[in-house]
């Protein structure tokens, strides 16, 4: 009976150790917002320019781009649109 309990406690410790190692490696990666801006005659193109700028900054600094973007401001300054966006960038 004690042999079975020892095996179970070893298995539990192994699962705990693997879980701890996984969570510590996942927490080592940090996620930051990277901003970009675009200026063009139509808002769609200005948004694409802004997102591409943020992606370039993220990747140039060794990051990985995560899905999605967020528009922070969109202003019409005659005759163009000025768009400011952010993306999530993961650095490991």
Q: How do residues 28-81 score in pLDDT, each as one tens digit? A: 799 999 999 999 999 999 999 999 999 999 999 999 999 999 999 999 999 999
Q: Domains in the chain, please, with CATH? A: 2-91 (3.10.28.20)
Whether the pTM exceeds 0.95: the reply is no
Report d(CA 49, CA 16) in Å as an integer. 46
Q: How far apart are CA 18 and CA 15, in angstroms?
A: 5
Query: Coil, strand, or helix at residue 14?
Result: helix
């Amino acid at each position: 009976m004690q042999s079975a309990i020892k095996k179970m406690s070893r298995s539990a410790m192994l699962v705990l150790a693997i879980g701890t190692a996984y969570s510590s490696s996942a927490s080592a990666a940090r996620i930051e917002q990277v901003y970009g801006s675009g200026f063009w005659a139509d808002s769609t193109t200005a948004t694409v320019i802004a997102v591409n700028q943020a992606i370039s900054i993220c990747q140039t600094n060794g990051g990985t781009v995560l899905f999605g973007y967020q528009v922070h401001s969109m202003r019409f300054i005659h005759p163009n649109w000025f768009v400011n966006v952010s993306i999530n960038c993961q650095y490991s």
